[in-house]
A and B are shown apart, each in its own frame.
Chain A
Amino acid sequence: MTLGRVIGSVWATRKDEGLNGTKILIIQPVDLNYDVDEEANPVIAVDSVGAGAGEIVLIAQGSSARQTKLTHNKPIDAVVMAIVDKLDVFGEAAG
């Protein structure tokens, strides 16, 4: 999974019917200090846990994103599937 911050949401009335009824959020990947990951583009992900703007979340991408009741068999490759309470970091992370 990727760590990210909810920085906004997307409104699209004309879209694939598989996306009808979904809440679409904009997620900016962040590093373990919650600072913006400069090299990572924002990800447009469907919300499945009621995440709000500013919250730190986990997103699952690729076909794993379709493994929820909400996103099953839908044209969705990124889903917000957890809201982070806290991180414990004890080891050393790369760049």
Chain B
Amino acid sequence: MFFAKIIGTVWATVKDEHLQNASFEIIQPIDANRNHAGKPIIAVNNIGAGEGETVMYITASEASIPLPAEMAPTDATIVGIVDRIDVDPELNKEMPTKK
């Protein structure tokens, strides 16, 4: 599971049959200090997370488990909206922001 911030939406009418009512968000991965951590990817928004929200997302084939269909070709799905991140500053040394 990773943190990310929702920075956009992808509109796609033609898509896999099992993703017909799934919406796709553009998410920017971030670290526990909310710094950018890698390039944006596209994830299925299965819990109605909104613009600008910080979320948790899962990758790989587990990403299809939250969806109603038996199978769904998604490799990233948002599974939680973050209310708060508590991090012990001692334990979380400042990570250099990855490009």
Contact = CB atoms under 8 A, between A and B. Distances in A.
Interface of A: 1-3, 31-32, 37, 48-50, 58, 60-69, 71-72, 79, 81-95
A91 B16 contact: no
Contact of A60 (B6, B7, B75): B75
A90 B73 contact: no
A3 B42 contact: yes
Interface size class of B (residues with CB under 8 A): 35 or more
A84 B8 contact: no
B14 A67 contact: no
A48 B73 contact: yes
12 contacts: A48-B73, A49-B16, A64-B61, A65-B75, A67-B61, A71-B73, A72-B71, A82-B19, A82-B24, A87-B10, A90-B52, A92-B7
B40 A88 contact: no
Nearest to A83: B14
B8 A88 contact: yes
Interface in B28-54: 28-29, 36-43, 51-52
* Residue picked from B13, B36, B40, B98, most chain A C-beta under 10 Å: B40
Nearest to A57: B12
A82 B12 contact: yes
B8 A32 contact: yes
* Residue picked from A58, A87, A90, most chain B C-beta under 10 Å: A58
A11 to B, nearest CB: 24
Given A64-B61, A88-B9, A95-B99, A1 B15 contact: no
Contacts of B16: 48-49, 68, 81-82
A67 B39 contact: no
